[in-house]
Every structure is written in C-alpha cells, then in structure tokens.
C-alpha cells in the first residue's frame, strides 16, 4: 500500500520554470555568438573560454528545458514512473559538462601562459560587460527555483559561474588596458576553471546519489526502525529500502512482522499510523509496507535482494 501527499500548483510552477529556461537559452545564444566573434577579433583566450562556457550553458539549459518538459509527461504501462527522473539526469549531465569544460580551459590556459599574446582589451571589456548583464538577468530568473529543484540548480550554477567568469574577464580586460598585464588573461582562465570544478563536483555527487538509489542523507533509518517498532502490535520491521525518485518524491518500502494474525481492517489502521509518522517526521511521501505474520525470512534491517 502507498501514501502520496501531492504538491499543489506543481504544473503551473513547471510551466513558469520552462519559460524562464527558454528566456535564458535565447540570452545565452546571443552572448555566445558575440563572445566568439569578439574573442577571435581581440585574441583573448579568457573571452573565448567564457564563450565556450556560455556555449556549454546553452547546451545545459536546453537539456534542462527538455528534461523539465519530459518530467510532466504522464506515466504509462511501459513507463510506470513516467519521466520523473528526467530532471535528475539533466542535473547529472550538466554537472559533468561543467567539469569537462573546466579541464579543457585549464589545458588552454597553461598553453597560453607559456606563450602570452597581445590582446585588444577594449573589445574584451565591452563584451564582458554585456555578458555580465545577460547572465545576471538569467541568474535572477532561475535563483528562486534553484533552491527547490536540482535540474534548475544545475542550470543556475552554469549561469552564475559564467557570470562570475565574465566579471573576471572584465577585470582582466581593465588590467590589460591600463597596465599591459596580458598574462592575466591566462591566470583568470585558470581560476575560472578551478571554480567550475569546485561547483560541479557537489552537484555531480548529489545527482549520482539519487540515480544510484542511495538513501537520502536526511533519512536516519535506525531511528525510523525504532519508531515503527514502538507502534502497538508490530514486532519487527526489516528488509527496508529508502530512495528518492526525484526531489519531490521519497519512497520507503519494508516488511513488517506483526505479533498476531491481524485483520486487513486492523492493518489499515496501523498502516495509517506508519504513513503519518514517516511523512510528518521524516518527509517520506510514498510508503509501501508488506505485512507478515510468522513468516520465516531474513529479519535484517537491510537485505540484499
């Protein structure tokens, strides 16, 4: 049996998230094209690296947009969970691309540092300033949703790191213009890349945990077992699985031994107690309990299926 506490207005919020992502995609396409042209004309590696990151933003935003649309598709006989994990998969892909792009930037920065080149700083300054405005607007659009949705958070991280990269490029452009410190271009590129790796690893770990069905960090299984065992007529709870389907759904399943051969009506009363306990104390909203009496099976809390 299961228990599902629904989330109000989820569909409307999803539509709004989709529109925000679409606006951010269009903005980043414009910024990317401008930075590629400007980077080639000025000879700035930092500007080209920022353009590369912006391009990865476009890809990541498109991935997030598609995932957001897929997540709303209904379940079917062949897809009983629907596409509810699409957004988690998108977060995993986007975190991976953050790290890959960062490694490429480090390689290019080292090469350019060994052979610094004269750079047209005025173009760098103006294009970096435009990128800051565009990415800053996108960051504001996604900030609220990034707090509650891993997919939106992955897109938000791409954008905020790119905005910071553009700030670094702007600073570098000013230093090159007034002090002819052209090596700053490579140093800033390296610093941007290190920060991307730092930001990407946490999101990669978080999305991997969900995809691998790991127990959420906030769920204390030992305490849950103690609480359920304290309910009247229950002698033992075992064979437990806890996992997140996505950020809105945490699932719990277990076998429960009863002290006597109770009726289905009596079981329903006890099940309701378990459901209320797990939802209100541990925020678990999908519960599946297998009742048992006198069954000869393994009574360990965790059993390898």
Q: Is 166 exposed, middle or buried (0-12, 13-18, 19+ CB in 10 A)?
A: buried
Q: Is the pLDDT of residue 252 over 70?
A: yes
161 contacts 53 by C-beta, under 8 angstroms: yes
Those residues with Cβ within 8 angstroms of residue 198's Cβ, 6 or more apart along the chain or in another chain: none
| pLDDT score for 12 | 56
- Please state which CATH class domain 221-292 belongs to: alpha beta
Q: How far apart are the first and last CA of the chain?
A: 20
191 contacts 102 by C-beta, under 8 angstroms: no
The strand ranges marked E within the chain are 234-244, 250-258, 286-292
Within 13 A of 202's CA, how many CA atoms are on the CB side? 8
124 contacts 46 by C-beta, under 8 angstroms: yes
For residue range 268-303, what is the model confidence (pLDDT) as tens digits? 999 999 999 999 999 999 999 999 999 998 999 998
267 contacts 206 by C-beta, under 8 angstroms: no
> What's the CATH number for 10-211?
1.20.1510.10
108 contacts 192 by C-beta, under 8 angstroms: no
Q: If pLDDT is split at 50, 70 and 90, which confidence band does 8 have?
A: very low
Most confident segment among 88-92, 109-113, 195-199, 272-276: 272-276
- Residue 257 carries which DSSP code? E
Best CA proximity match to 159, nearest among 93, 94, 85: 94
Q: Is the pLDDT of residue 11 over 80?
A: no
The strand ranges marked E within 163-282 are 234-244, 250-258
Those residues with Cβ within 8 angstroms of residue 72's Cβ, 6 or more apart along the chain or in another chain: 11, 14, 83
Q: Is the pLDDT of residue 45 over 80?
A: no
B/e letters for 72-81, b = 16+ CB within 10 Å, e = fewer, are eeeeeeeeee
Q: What is the pTM assigned to this prediction?
A: 0.79
Least confident of 46-60, 66-80, 132-146, 212-226: 46-60
Best CA proximity match to 151, nearest among 95, 209, 91: 91
Higher per-residue pLDDT: 134 or 225: 225
| pLDDT score for 5 | 46
The residue ranges of every structural domain in the chain are: 10-211, 221-292
| pLDDT score for 119 | 66
Q: What is the mean pLDDT of residues 160-187?
A: 80
| pLDDT score for 41 | 84
């Amino acid at each position: 049996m299961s228990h599902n506490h629904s989330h109000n207005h989820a569909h409307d919020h999803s539509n709004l998230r989709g529109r925000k992502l679409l606006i951010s995609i269009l903005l980043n396409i414009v910024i990317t094209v401008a930075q590629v042209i400007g980077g080639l004309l000025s000879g700035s590696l930092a500007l080209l690296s920022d353009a590369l990151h912006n391009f990865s933003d476009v890809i990541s935003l498109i991935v997030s947009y598609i995932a957001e649309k897929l997540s709303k598709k209904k379940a079917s006989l062949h897809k009983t969970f629907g596409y509810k994990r699409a957004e988690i998969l998108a977060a995993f892909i986007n975190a991976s691309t953050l790290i890959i792009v960062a490694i490429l930037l480090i390689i290019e920065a080292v090469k350019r540092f060994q052979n610094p080149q004269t750079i047209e700083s005025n173009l760098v300054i103006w294009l970096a300033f435009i990128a800051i405005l565009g990415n800053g607007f996108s960051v504001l659009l996604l900030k609220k949703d990034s707090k509650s949705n891993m997919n939106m958070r992955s897109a938000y991280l791409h954008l905020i790191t790119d905005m910071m990269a553009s700030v670094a490029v702007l600073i570098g452009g000013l230093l090159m213009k007034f002090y002819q410190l052209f090596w700053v271009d490579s140093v800033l590129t390296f610093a941007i890349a290190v920060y991307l790796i730092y930001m990407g690893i946490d999101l990669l770990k978080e999305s991997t945990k969900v995809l691998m069905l790991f127990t959420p960090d906030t769920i204390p299984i030992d305490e849950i077992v103690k609480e359920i065992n304290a309910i009247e007529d229950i002698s033992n709870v075992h064979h437990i699985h806890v996992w997140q389907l996505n950020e809105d759904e945490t699932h719990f399943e277990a076998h429960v031994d009863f002290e006597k051969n109770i009726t289905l009506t009596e079981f329903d009363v006890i099940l309701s107690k378990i459901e209320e306990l797990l939802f209100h104390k541990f925020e678990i909203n999908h519960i599946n309990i297998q009742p048992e009496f006198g069954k000869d099976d393994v009574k360990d809390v965790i059993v390898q299926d």
